[in-house]
Structure 1
Amino acid sequence: MHYAWPSPSLPQLTSNSSSLQITNDEGSWIVIMELLAPIPSCFVGAFLVDIIGRKKSILITAIPYFISWLMIAFANSAVTLAVARLFCGISDGIAFTVIPLYIAEIADPKIRGLLGTSISANWIFGMLLINVIGSYLSISMTAAVSSVIPLFLLVTFVWMPESPYFLIMKCDFKRAREALRKFTGQDNVEEELLRLQEAVKNQSGKRGRVLDLFRKKSNQRSLAVIAIVRNAQQLSGVAAISFYTLSIFKEAGDFMSPLTATIIYVSIQCVMAGVCSIAIDRTGRRPLLISSLVGSAIALFLEGTYFYIKDFTSIDTSSFNFVPVMALIGYVIIFNLGAQPIPLLMQGELFPTNVKAIASCMSEVYFCIVASTVSKFFQIMRDTFGMYLPFYAFSICCVVNLIFVVIFVPETKGKTLEEIQESLRLKKKARSVNK
């Protein structure tokens, strides 16, 4: 809900009738503040997750989220809004470092794809909620309603078990056994407990350091894969489009009201994320990711072409004003089949226990840097050259990233976390033999 808050709120804040009026440039900085704050807080999350555990780290995020909503509710300046976005960014950095790790560790391999992609599905559902609520209520009232969500986290998640992996790392085998019983629904979990003990022993010879990510060949490969899928996700412009959805539809034409188009857009996004959650353990990661990038490139190219013809030619586009809405809806359908949810899922799958927290941190830092750069790029290019140029750039990026995905991204469907690590090590050995 914080992430998509600018979509319904920025048009209100930049309008002439706003009591708290801001410029487009101030608005763009308020937008990306949430993407800058997670960069340092990711490292806090990576530190906390192996000290106090996955569960407590997740619970801690409720506090900055709640404070942020209160600041937005009572904000009287652009600076206050920017600081509020910094607070929610602190929680984002911790949450998106810890939650993929927690879900990967508690999930059975057969449904790990379903549970892992549920992060994106719920994230997008929050985007839908804030677009609906924020379009009908004032900014202050929207923030007051939204502040209930972090409180809900505190009173519900406190009852969830800790990750068995973390408990075994701390040699708390009694609680690990109890957690496994709750997660598996079985009383006899001794065999699974022994398997996890052996896995943690093999992967956690010593606490991982940042340099371990770059020294070990299997970790280097995993980092490269994460960078590729993050590029595939963010260089398509998804963050900028999410932040400026309502503004984009306002410039598109009068085929449909911007508010209706935005709600339809995010609703379809939410549905397709759910479809991906169901399909991913059947079809695998690679087919969904590849088809997603192909479709996204086509849809974004059509979007850019419409805006170019509309703004820079004398051609009458009134008969084609359905194109930008349909193109963005097509984009959101195909993008959310793969490119949106898969990076977070793979972030929790590809790394051994001793460096998993650091790796999740680095992945989130990389995401924040790329997403904030792309969002600022969108605002500058739109204001300087027109709406068409960023869409053309995003389409080209989809094509380039598709090539990298086809060549380098492995399939992890149906494998345990230990089997994934073994396959990464085998690839290293195979390359050595070929040399």
Structure 2
Amino acid sequence: MTSETKGSSALQYIAALSGTLAVICDGMHCGWASPSVPQLTNNETCTLCIDENEGSTLAVMPLIGSIAGSLTAATIVDIFGRKHTMLATAVPFFVGWIMVAFCQNVILLYIARFIAGASGGITFTVLPMYIGEIADPKVRGLLGSSCSVNWIAGFLLINVIGSYFSIKTTALISSIVPALLFVTFFWMPESPYYLLMKDKTEQARKSLERLKGSKKVDEDLNRMRNAIQAEKKSRNGKFADLYRLASNRKAVFIVLGLRGFQQLAGTTAIAFYTHEIFTAAGDHISNHYAVMIYYAVQLVLTIISSSIVDKAGRRPLLLISMAGSALALFVEGTYFYILNETSIDTSSFSIVAVIGLISFVIMFGVGMQSIPICMLGELFPTNVKAFALCLADVYFCVMATVASKYLQITKVEFGLHVSFYGFCVCSVIGLVFIYFVVPETKGKTLEDIQKKLRGEKEERTEKGTDEEKISLKA
């Protein structure tokens, strides 16, 4: 789709909003552990009681399920299409909540959260493709970043609901979201790029006309068709191509570095244990309200970052974000060191724990929360993008699981100060990585980015924006 074609992009916003209900579902399932695990480990009030290790496993189970979901999505998305694959995710999300509401043992809880996690893996592999394929270049950054925004919204929502209702009631209320996903996304158009891949030209034309709000889509249709034919002639695209070409290897290194340091800074691990962290900080802090403030601030900052990333650039926001996160983590670690390892009374300044974590989420939300996902859609050519998205999501789940288990083990064995100091060190290393390795992609077409990765001279043209959109397919 070209930026020159007149019309309305309203349906693109609506389709992205409907699709990201799946991201909200995943965020709610992942964030469920924060308000619910403390209830399950409270022997005085719970009907189904679990120990610390079982609670930790419950927290990371969606990440394990997501690996299976990502691998599945990479196999089926070009068979069943983007729309139908996304529609299918509503079912396991819904089933997962019903199982959580009524299951009576921890094994069934494991299964329920694994099922939901698998659906989340499919979502994060397919939805960025769908949004990239339906969005005009002028709104691509904003709509693409909406995945991160709505994931945080899911965490906030489940913490609000879970703080006031029982586990069963929380699960039943939460099951409304996947139902809304199915009902609303059912009416959204299929990706025109996918339809052209299947030689359904007339259906692709109708889809484009709906998405553009215009009948004048011949130019867009021809450009997309030519791009698809060029991809087919050059190379069909295999997973091994991510490593055969030097430019793809460099892109993989950049993406894995960004996604790795994103998790090693502790963002997902901290999200799983926010209630416990605030409780450990001191009796004068209301952990329920502190957690809500934590996620509300994170949501607002991620929205702001998403709205300015196309103007401020990727690298400046990433560098500011990582440096600020490291400083906030150091402050948090120092507070818990004083609390755990000294005889100093911290009751008069226990608010530092809240300020430290909120400062972390502010700085992390400036760039590291959303930009790594945004750049994932920019660094790879069309024919390997599905494999790249799958690899990135699997890697994300592995690193988030490692970081979460690290937090759980260190807080039990050594104290939370060790956990936060470790995250701080990883953030500093990540800052160095961003400075020396991560390229700036602001304002560049995908062709320019690929040439930069290959070490060639970039060329900017008036048609660059159109070509960029074409290259974002898949």
Indicate how the Cα distance of structure 1 residues 209 and 428 shifts in structure 2: closer, same or farther if over 3 A, else same: farther
Does the aligned pair in 1 maintain the 2:40–2:50 contact within 8 Å?
yes
Aligned partners of 2:366, 2:203: CA distance in 1, in Å? Answer: 37
Alignment gaps of 5+ in structure 2: 1-27, 459-474
Residue by residue over 1:60-92, the C-alpha shift from the partner in whole angstroms, topping out at 9 and shown as x without a partner, is 111111110011000211111111110011101
Residue in structure 2 matching 1:34, options 43, 62, 65: 62
268, 277, 280: which one pairs with 2:297?
Answer: 268
> C-alpha deviations, 1:7-65, integer Å up to 9, x for none?
10011010122111100100001111111112122111011111111111111111111
The letter of the residue matching 2:128 is P
376, 380, 384: which is aligned to 1:351?
A: 380
Q: Tell me what 2:333 maps to.
A: 304
Q: TM-score, normalised by structure 2?
A: 0.88
5 Å-filtered alignment, 1:13-412, equals: 13-16=40-43, 17-205=45-233, 206-412=235-441
Residue 380 of structure 2: SS of its match in structure 1?
coil
C-alpha contact 2:155 2:295 (8 A) present in aligned 1? yes
CA distance in 1, matches of 2:456, 2:370: 25
CA distance in 2, matches of 1:93, 1:398: 26
Spell out, residue by residue over 1:286-337, the C-alpha distance to the aligned partner (whole angstroms, 9 max, x if none). Answer: 1111111000000001000000011101122222211110010011111011
Q: Is the 8 A contact 1:101 1:347 kept in 2?
A: no
Larger mean CA deviation between 312-321 and 330-339 belongs to: 312-321
Whether contact under 8 Å (1:110, 1:414) holds in the other structure is: no
Greater displacement, 174-183 / 409-418: 409-418
CA displacement at 1:203 relative to structure 2? 2.9
Q: In 1, distance between residues paired with 2:209 and 2:455? A: 33
**Structure 1 residue matching 2:240: 3-state secondary structure:** helix
My pick for the range that moved more, 167-176 or 116-125, is 167-176
Give the structure 1 partner of residue 38 of structure 2. 11
Aligned residues: 429
Distance change (3 Å), C-alpha of 1:346 and 1:33: same
Counterpart for residue 16 of structure 2: none
Q: Using the TM superposition, give the Cα deviation of residue 223 of structure 1 relative to its aligned residue in structure 2, in angstroms.
A: 0.9
Q: Is the 1:22–1:78 contact (alpha carbons within 8 Å) kept by the matching residues of 2?
A: yes
1:2 is matched with 29
CA distance in 1, matches of 2:351, 2:368: 25
Q: In the TM superposition, what whole-angstrom CA distance separates every residue of 1:334-358 from its partner, at most 9, and x where no partner exists?
A: 1011101112222222222221111
Query: Percent identical across equivalent pairs?
Result: 51
- Secondary structure of 2:30's match? coil
1:197/1:420 Cα in 2 relative to 1: closer, same or farther (>3 Å)? farther
Equivalent residues of 2:141, 2:374 under 8 A apart: yes
**Distance verdict in 2 for CA 1:222–1:154, change over 3 Å:** same
Deviations 1:221-252 (A, max 9, x none): 21111101102211101111100001100001
Q: Please say which of residues 316-325 and 381-390 is displaced more in the overlay.
A: 316-325
| CA distance in 2: counterparts of 1:263 and 1:326, whole angstroms | 13
| Distance of aligned partners of 1:368 and 1:294 in 2 relative to their CA distance in 1, 3 Å threshold | same
CA contact (8 A) 1:203 1:352 kept: no
RMSD: 1.6
The alpha-carbon distance between structure 1 residues 256 and 400, as it changes in their structure 2 partners (threshold 3 A), is same
Q: Is the 8 A contact 1:199 1:418 kept in 2?
A: no
Consecutive unaligned residues of structure 1, counting only runs of 5 or more, are 430-435
SS in 2 for 1:51: helix
CA distance in 1, matches of 2:333, 2:362: 18
Range with bigger deviation, 293-302 or 98-107: 98-107
